């Protein structure tokens, strides 16, 4: 249970999965790798909370009915809208989607802070550079102590046009926007 960070629109488990994919070089132009390998790497280095929560988070990021702009390109049975669950992680494969590259671009150019992982043996990003407003584009839901959020997804083109209009005219009205 967590709330997403407004800066990149991700909860810690999602951020760690995407960073793990990036560290493994699993870009859209490379071949898919077994989900079990991805989950094991993320669990061992960044998220020691069990393999199932990591896999379930990765599955959701691959579902076009869960994310307006999927962040994981999954191969195999990643579930259905009708409630059918995903196949076991040993049967599925994954890699990043093209839009995910925009969340990670310039990560190694001192654009964000890195923090120690849970045991101090690795470094992980505190937030991703996020060159698009992922929180608004994909929406988010989360629960924390005393608070909750539920943000619907939005069209990325409309979001960017709105940001450009607001940057050109900071006093723009809601009606004009």
Q: Which long-range contacts (CB under 8 A, 24 or more apart) does 35-40 make?
A: 35/74, 35/76, 35/89, 35/90, 35/92, 35/93, 35/94, 36/89, 36/90, 38/94, 39/89
The SS3 assignment for 24 reads coil
46 is catalytic: no
CB-CB contact of 1 with 143 (8 Å): yes
Q: Which of 46, 69, 91, 118 is catalytic?
A: 91
Assess contact for 125 and 47: CB atoms under 8 A.
no
CA angle (49, 83, 132) in 5-degree steps: 65
Catalytic residues: 91
């Amino acid at each position: 249970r967590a709330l997403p960070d407004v800066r990149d629109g991700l909860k810690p488990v999602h951020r760690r999965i995407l960073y793990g994919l990036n560290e493994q070089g699993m870009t859209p132009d490379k071949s898919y790798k077994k989900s079990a390998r991805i989950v094991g790497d993320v669990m061992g280095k960044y998220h020691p909370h069990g393999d199932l929560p990591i896999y379930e988070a990765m599955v959701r990021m691959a579902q076009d009915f869960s994310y307006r702009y999927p962040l994981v390109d999954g191969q195999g049975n990643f579930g259905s809208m009708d409630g059918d669950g995903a196949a076991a992680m040993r049967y599925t494969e994954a890699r990043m989607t093209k839009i995910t590259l925009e969340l990670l671009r310039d990560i190694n150019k001192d654009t964000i802070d890195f923090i120690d992982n849970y045991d101090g043996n690795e470094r992980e990003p505190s937030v991703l550079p996020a060159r698009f407003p992922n929180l608004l584009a994909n929406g988010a839901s989360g629960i924390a102590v005393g608070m909750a959020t539920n943000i619907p997804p939005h069209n990325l083109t409309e979001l960017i046009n709105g940001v450009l209009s607001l940057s050109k005219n900071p006093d723009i009205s809601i009606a004009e926007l």
